[in-house]
Amino acid sequence: MFQGTASSVGKSLLTAAFCRIFYQDGYKVAPFKSQNMALNSYITKKGMEMGRAQVVQAEAAKVEPSVLMNPILLKPTTDKKCQVILNGKVYRNMSAVEYHEFKPTLAKMVKDSFDELAKHYDIVVLEGAGSPAEINLRDKDIVNMGMAEMADADVILIGDIDRGGVFASIYGTIMLLTEEERKRVKGIIINKFRGDVEILKPGIKMLEELTGIPVLGVVPYYNVQIEDEDSLAERFRTERNNKGQIEVAVLYLPHVSNFTDFNVFETQEDVNLRYVMRGQSIGNPDMLIIPGSKNTLEDLIYLKETGLAKEIFRLNKEGKLIIGICGGYQMLGKRLCDPYGTESDIKEINGLGLLDIETVFELEKTTTQVEAEIVAKVQNNFEGIKGMKIKGYEIHMGQTQLGKESFVLNHIKKRLDDEVCIEDGAVSMSGNVMGTYIHGIFDNIGFTRKLLNNIRKAKGLDEKESNVESFELFKEKEYDKLAKIVREHVDLEKIYNIIQGE
């Protein structure tokens, strides 16, 4: 089990790295995280919702994602409440206090999920959450040392040297553990190191002497394009490619969800992907994307109160391409209604009015993988997309109706294993505003490249092919790259010895 001294120390990516390493070494391996708090989620082939971090780890292990790998998913809706998802289905919304009292009743479910995985895999790589030294939460812990005890797992502790104070954070974490918990910690990994490791060695020696626990490796700061677990990840603070001829701007909403929808743009050499953070101006991007949200109505108010809505209207008048995904799609409409208080206490609100659609939030959540065909025949920004086949997944409580002033974007042909014909999405009459419920639509490289080439054409630039054959193959290379880096800087023999109980 990998635990960390804090959030964002690299637990998720190192877990993914070892999933790939063990797979490469011939083992059947699965990831496991009992409880994940994240607004990035994924829908499995069975229509179940789980955290994307475990999906990434499953991809690294080359196994099909299953909710057994993440039986509890918490999706914050406000600062004090979250939607609790158990075994892939919505249970109910809870406050932090309510959930903390509820946790002990979940221990058996968590243990059963782990035991079921352990029956079918040679190695299960567990990931903790936050820090195991949260002493105020110890008595009801089911995700860190409490989970390690249920699984009888040895623990490797990860510290992030890039943020500073790594020796203090590692030592302090270990000292705050109980004696029994400390016995489980069999190794330490120092992550995100920059510089000459020789300078670090005296400190490593002192740390080992103080704790009696060996440092198994110092992993350098690495640049791999693999999805981040934490919404405060570095990717939102910097432009991914400031030399691109096309600028794609994504609004970073207070309750943004599924921001991994846009990672594919990082693979395109002619794209400069930029996230518009609080207090920043949208500027003049070629494409503006309003992403999904776990609280669409409050995030819509945020756009209006911060003046971002006025900038969106300006871009619309200039004919710039504006795209909304899921919650962003709903915001682009004329009206949003939440009669049951599904997302907030706001019963009704006017949308941005750029698409002739209206949305009502229902009590039942739609969670499904889909295959669809683009049917909208619109020129300019969307020229050439009609007839394209796309794949993705839906996660939404809202149901949207189109008015007469919008074109249907696509027909969903398949939901899970069922053949269907369902309308999804909308395109404005002006041909520069589009919305859809389909997450992962941009992972369809042909579709995304067509949109980008239409922008290039409007700017007087030659068309350009994608520099990656497919997003799936690109990710495969990144998993191998990550595994290679970790192999070179961690004592793998000692880790196998720990697994074998030596």
Active site residues: 326, 439
DSSP conformation class of 173? H
Pairwise CA distance, residues 249 & 275, whole Å:
6
Task: State both tokens at 322.
Answer: 């504006």
Nearby residues of 403 by Cβ (< 8 Å), 6 or more positions away: 334, 356, 357, 358
**371, amino acid identity:** E
Start-to-end CA distance of the chain, whole Å, equals: 16
Find the DSSP H helices in 73-159: 96-120, 145-151
Nearby residues of 495 by Cβ (< 8 Å), 6 or more positions away: 18, 156, 187, 216
Pairwise CA distance, residues 274 & 277, whole Å:
9
Pairwise CA distance, residues 323 & 253, whole Å:
15
Phi, psi of 386 (to 5 degrees): -60, 135
CA 417 to the chain's CA centroid: 25
- Nearest 5°: CA angle at 92, between 91 and 96? 115
**225, amino acid identity:** Q
Residue with tokens 């009459």: 429
Pairwise CA distance, residues 323 & 455, whole Å:
13
Pairwise CA distance, residues 439 & 173, whole Å:
38
Answer whether 317's CB lies under 8 Å from 352's CB.
no
Task: Output the DSSP codes for 354-399.
Answer: SSSEEEEEEEEEEEEEEEEEE-----GGGTT-TT-EEEEEEEEEEE
